[in-house]
Amino acid sequence: MRMTSSQIDNYSTNGFVVLEGFVEPSECDVLRHRIEQMVQEFDPSGVVSIFTTREQKRVADDYFFSSSGKIHFFFEENAFNPDGSLKQSKEKSINKIGHALHDLDPVFNRFSRSEKLKQLADDLGMQNPLLLQSMYIFKQPNIGGEVVCHQDSTFLHTEPIEIVGLWFALEDATVENGCLWAIPGGHKYGLKSRWARNGSGGMELKTLDSEPWPEEELVPLEVKKGSLILLHGLLPHRSLENKSSKSRHAYTLHLISADAKYSEDNWLQRPASMPLSGF
């Protein structure tokens, strides 16, 4: 599947493009079934790592840092009772799984290194693309947390900025269940902030441009199961809480150019025994 010139132009102009029907529904079901197996095998006792984008100055825990080269499970903010017990089953409490699914799990490795994704990177003009990180995002019914407006390059910075986010809809994504929202052309504003290691074991959000996002320009990206949304690393995007009774499963993958310098103060640093690789 080759991108058309119109699709490439849309990506360049808007900072994103939707490729409908990029993935067969059966491929989506394979990923979902594999995740169901992984969640069933996961023992949540002793693991209370919560994913949130509201506290980006927080000290990241070791479980989070080490997920760069492992497969770790992160809970929703509203998953726990005051006594620390889960409000509902673990299957309905996990926010995401990351960040090395594409390297460590055969099913996700095969999906992430398909010939059509290799072709996609080539169509975008990426030189020597590397697979940086992967996440399976649940957006759970009723408690799926908000992801505030952000740029991926805030968290995964390269010089020059050569990063592409691939967002696969494994279920229909709608306004009701927390679809993505993006600011068309917002990637042209430049990088607003960096979430960087502060040298004392934690993370710090460094402001580069304090001008607020024009969030009134956000548009919803409602897509059908099997669609792929390509996101420029500088594109401001977000998703709202999922207050509906329907989940919004998605798989995301980030590609960077091997020719770009990957910043040493990024949170995600792969262990020496697991160097990044391409297709």
H/E stretch holding 255: strand 250-257
- CATH superfamily name and code, 5-262: q2cbj1_9rhob like domain (2.60.120.620)
H/E stretch holding 261: strand 261-262
Length of the chain: 279
Cα separation, 166 vs 231, in Å, equals: 6
Cα separation, 195 vs 10, in Å, equals: 28
Contact criterion met (CB below 8 Å) for 94 and 87: no
Dump pLDDT digits (tens) for 205-247: 999 999 999 999 999 999 999 999 999 999 999 999 999 999 9
DSSP code at position 86: B
CA proximity to 131, closest of 187, 193, 191, 68? 68
Tell me which residue has tokens 């079934």. 33
For residue 63, what pLDDT is reported? 85
For residue 52, what pLDDT is reported? 54
Q: Which residues of the chain have pLDDT under 70?
A: 46-60
Pairing of strands 94-99, 219-221: unpaired
Cα separation, 139 vs 92, in Å, equals: 9
Q: Which structure tokens are listed for 233? A: 């690393």
For residue 178, what pLDDT is reported? 97
Residue 132, class by beta-carbon neighbours within 10 Å (0-12 exposed, 13-18 middle, 19+ buried)? buried
Dump pLDDT digits (tens) for 52-88: 544 443 445 788 899 999 999 998 888 888 887 888 8
CA proximity to 22, closest of 251, 212, 188? 251
H/E stretch holding 32: helix 25-41
Domain boundaries, the chain: 5-262
